[in-house]
Amino acid sequence: MSFSWAPEVIEFFGAPGEFPSVHRPVGDVATRRSTMEPVHAMIDAAQPRPDDVVVKDFETTAGDGAKLLLRWYVKEGAQPGAAVLFLHGGGMILSSVSLYDGTVSRYVSSSGVPFLSVEYRLAPEYPHPTPVEDAYAGLTWLTEHAGELGVDPARIAVMGDSGGGGMAAGLALLARDRSGPAIAKQILLYPMLDDRTTTPDPALAGLATWSYEDNATAWQALLGPACGGPDVSPYAAPARLKDATGMPPLYMEALELDILRDEDIDYARRTAAAGVSTELHVHPSIPHAFEAIAFDTAVARRMKADRVRVLKGL
C-alpha cells in the first residue's frame, strides 16, 4: 500500500490534490519569507496565549561582537530547577523569536519549565557558522546566569523544531566537543539534519508540506557552495556526525510524510547505537508541522502530551 494522509489531515487540508501548493524556485529566500512568515504568525496566534507566563528580554554579545536578543519565559510561581534553550523553526532562513511567542509561552505554561529563546541570525545573510555560534552564545549566557534565573545548570535542555531542531542538535554537538556548557537533553522535533536530502521520494509526491525545493533553498543559503559536498561541518548538518558517543539523551519526533523522516530516524538510530538514551516517535500519515497548524487534532494532542511529559521530566 502507498502512503496517504491521515483522515484528520484530509479533514483539515482537503485531499492532497486539493491542497493549494505554491511553487517557489530553489534559491528564492525572499518569497519564502513573505509567504511562510505570515503562516508562522497565524499558527502562533491561533491559540490563546497563557496569562500566567512572564516574559523578559535580555541581550548577549555573539563571538563577532553582534548583539543578540534573548527572550526569557517563566511561569508565575515556578520553582527553581530545569530550563530549556529554544531555537525556533523556519529552515534557518526565516521566522523569529517573536513569531514563536505564543508557542513557547504555551510550553512554559503547560510544563512549568522556563524557556530562553535565542534570536539567532539567519542565512543567507549570515551563513554557517553564525547561526549555531549565536545559539552557543545563548547557551553560555543561560549557564552563566543560571543562579539569578533560578536554573540548575545541570538541567538545561536544548529544543527546537524543523530548522531549529537541527540547530539544537548542532549546538549539542558543539557543546560536547568544547566540553561545555553541559546539556541535559536534546528535544528535537522533526529536525533538519542533512543537507544531502535532495532526491525526491516518489512515495511522498503530493503529500509533503516542506518540499525538496524548500529544503535545497535552506541548505544552500546556510552552506553556500559547500552544500552537498564532502566538507560540510556536522555543527551545521548534524547528520554528518561520525560518532554520537557522549551526546546528551535524545527525544526525537519524526513524521512519516515528511522528507526529513529518514534522516531523523537514522540520527536516532545512531545515537542509540552509541549508547545514548534515545526516545523516538514516528507519527504515521502526517506531514511536516501539521500538528502546529491543526493543533486540536488527536495527533497534535498526543504530540503535545509527550513533549510536556519530557519537559516535566528534566
Annotation says 201 is catalytic: no
* Pick from 292, 298, 297, 294: nearest CA to 89: 292
Residue 257: what are its φ and ψ, rounded to 5°?
-105, 40
* Pick from 203, 200, 202: nearest CA to 2: 203
Contact 94, 125 (CB under 8 A): no
Annotation says 162 is catalytic: yes
- From the list 44, 101, 194, 258, the catalytic residue is 258
Q: Residue ranges of the alpha helices (H) in the chain?
A: 7-13, 29-45, 101-111, 130-144, 146-149, 163-177, 212-223, 261-273, 290-293, 298-312
Annotation says 283 is catalytic: no
- Residue 58: partners with Cβ closer than 8 Å, 6 or more residues away: 69, 70, 71, 72, 141, 145
Contact 279, 296 (CB under 8 A): no
Taking the CB of residue 274, how many other CB atoms lie within 10 A of it? 14
Distance from C-alpha of 127 to C-alpha of 236, rounded to nearest angstrom = 10
- From the list 95, 162, 211, 285, the catalytic residue is 162
Which residues form the catalytic set?
Answer: 162, 258, 288
